[in-house]
């Protein structure tokens, strides 16, 4: 592809970034001067909306890539994954920070966000989630600090950080297990409100398994993005491993969902007619069955277009699931519908733009992809990958 076209694309995404951030900032000012009601469609019936469902539930879930990979590469000692540990850790760190930023905007009294540190209620799942998130973001920062030390040339610090890797990773994996599942436990308190298709005592387990699935899917997507953005060759065996584990986990997740629906006698409802059923079928069909049915065939998943597509579907199913649990599932009991306002959507987009911008910055200034060198993208290697529509780190 010609350098001119690359520049055009770059300019477009850069412009997009500034536009989204500008709109988002204006709306943030309105939110803080006029109250949540002025910019959101939240109401007494729907106290949780897009920001909780997407920015927090989905955001934290997508950050699951970090723990899936840290666990695989350090605990299961699969060295093959090490080259993508750093981008995954950076991505996860950004996902968590962005969830924190969104949460800050979402809660009514942003200045009180630190209260859980000193005001304890150990009976509250949200209290536990808050602590896990704080600690885990700290763990990710520790894990990522190696990059910073390397960049600054602090070899002693980098060495210490390196020696502490295994304890750091174990702490990270444990904390992730807890809060990924706890995001599901949040809804256990509402048996009378959440639709029985989604309300189950297995929510914590299902949230945990689906976080692993989406973590793997995100890694596949990320390898592809980084491959073509930085002129790296696809690491075919690595992608092969990831896709095999993804298929297995999707299978486990799909079976668990069906088994759970059957045990509770809700299978008929789930696959019947009606609004909730349709939303479930969309979530489950497109997000679990389709990627599983495609990727289960070794021939098909060897085609990386299909692999990439399958991963995208799995991410879609994950997003749908979280939205369904937090919003759709409540519509029957609460009456009416919740549709996010355009302001909510734009503020969400601002946060997403910040994540991509942050990733671009990190790639430019830190040794995230060590063997390509800092921020160099050889044009020759780029051409090998062909033309693609998007690439995350092009914002710089």
**Residues contributing to the site for another protein (CB under 8 A):** 32-38, 40, 42-45, 47-48, 71, 74-77, 79-80, 107-110, 112-113, 115-116, 119-128, 130, 166, 170, 173-174, 177-178, 182, 185-186, 188-193, 201, 204, 330, 334
Q: How far is the CB of 210 from another protein (least distance, A)?
A: 17
Closer residue to another protein, CB minimum distance, 130 or 246:
130
Q: How many CB atoms lie within 10 A of CB 72?
A: 23
Q: How far is the CB of 174 from another protein (least distance, A)?
A: 5
Q: Residue 296, by phi and psi: left (phi above 0), alpha (psi -120 to 50) or beta?
A: alpha
Residue 266's contacts (CB-CB under 8 Å, 6 or more residues apart) are 196, 197
Q: How many CB atoms lie within 10 A of CB 159?
A: 12
Closer residue to another protein, CB minimum distance, 24 or 116:
116
Q: How far is the CB of 172 from another protein (least distance, A)?
A: 10
Q: How many CB atoms lie within 10 A of CB 190?
A: 12
Q: Are 217 and 311 in contact (CB under 8 A)?
A: yes
Q: How far is the CB of 282 from another protein (least distance, A)?
A: 23
Half-sphere exposure of 359 (CA within 13 A, CB side): 27
Which residue's structure tokens are 């943030």? Answer: 28
Q: Are 38 and 161 in contact (CB under 8 A)?
A: no
Closer residue to another protein, CB minimum distance, 204 or 254:
204
Closest-CA residue to 279 (of 311, 312, 326): 326
Q: How far is the CB of 295 from another protein (least distance, A)?
A: 24
Instruction: Give alpha helix (H) positions in the chain.
Output: 3-34, 36-39, 50, 59-62, 64-70, 85-106, 115-118, 125-152, 155-163, 165-185, 203-229, 236-263, 267-270, 275-281, 290-295, 298-302, 304-323, 329-334, 342-365, 379-385
Closer residue to another protein, CB minimum distance, 120 or 275:
120
How far apart CA 380 and CA 261 sit, in angstroms, is 52
Closer residue to another protein, CB minimum distance, 76 or 273:
76
In our burial notation (b when 16+ CB lie closer than 10 A, e otherwise), range 319-343 reads: bbbbbbbbbbbbbeebeeebebbeb
Closer residue to another protein, CB minimum distance, 22 or 113:
113
Closer residue to another protein, CB minimum distance, 61 or 71:
71
Q: How far is the CB of 178 from another protein (least distance, A)?
A: 6
Q: How far is the CB of 347 from another protein (least distance, A)?
A: 16
Q: How far is the CB of 82 from another protein (least distance, A)?
A: 9
Closer residue to another protein, CB minimum distance, 326 or 362:
326
């Amino acid at each position: 592809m010609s350098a001119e076209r690359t520049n055009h694309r770059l300019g477009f995404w850069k412009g997009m970034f500034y536009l989204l951030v500008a709109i988002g900032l204006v709306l943030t000012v309105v939110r803080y001067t006029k109250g949540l009601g002025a910019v959101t469609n939240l109401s007494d019936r729907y106290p949780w909306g897009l920001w909780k469902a997407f920015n927090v539930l989905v955001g934290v879930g997508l950050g699951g890539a970090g723990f899936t990979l840290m666990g695989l590469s350090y605990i299961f000692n699969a060295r093959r994954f090490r080259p993508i540990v750093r981008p995954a850790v950076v991505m996860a760190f950004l996902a968590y920070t962005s969830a924190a930023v969104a949460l800050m905007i979402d809660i009514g009294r942003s200045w009180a966000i630190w209260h859980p540190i000193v005001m304890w209620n150990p009976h509250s799942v949200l209290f536990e989630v808050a602590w896990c998130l704080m600690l885990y973001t700290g763990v990710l920062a520790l894990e990522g600090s190696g990059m910073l030390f390397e960049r600054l040339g602090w070899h002693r610090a980098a060495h210490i950080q390196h020696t502490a890797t295994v304890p750091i990773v174990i702490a990270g994996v444990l904390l992730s297990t807890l809060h990924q599942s706890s995001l599901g436990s949040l809804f256990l308190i509402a048996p009378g409100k959440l639709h029985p298709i989604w309300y189950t005592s297995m929510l914590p387990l299902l949230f945990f398994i689906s976080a692993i699935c989406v973590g793997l899917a995100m890694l596949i997507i990320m390898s592809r993005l980084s491959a073509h953005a930085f002129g790296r060759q696809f690491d075919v065996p690595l992608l092969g491993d990831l896709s095999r584990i993804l298929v297995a986990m999707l299978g486990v997740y799909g079976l668990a969902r069906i088994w759970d629906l059957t045990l509770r006698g809700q299978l008929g409802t789930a696959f019947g007619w009606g609004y909730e059923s349709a939303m479930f079928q969309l979530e489950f069909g497109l997000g679990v069955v389709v990627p599983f049915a495609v990727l289960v065939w070794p021939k098909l998943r060897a085609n990386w277009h299909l692999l990439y597509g399958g991963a995208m579907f799995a991410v879609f199913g994950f997003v749908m699931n979280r939205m369904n649990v937090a919003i759709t599932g409540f519509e029957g009991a609460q009456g009416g519908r919740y549709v996010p306002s355009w302001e909510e959507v734009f503020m969400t987009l601002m946060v997403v733009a910040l994540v991509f911008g942050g990733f671009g910055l990190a790639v430019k200034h830190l040794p995230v992809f060590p063997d390509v060198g800092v921020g160099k993208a050889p044009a020759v290697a780029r051409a090998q990958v062909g033309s693609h529509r998007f690439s995350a780190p092009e914002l710089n």
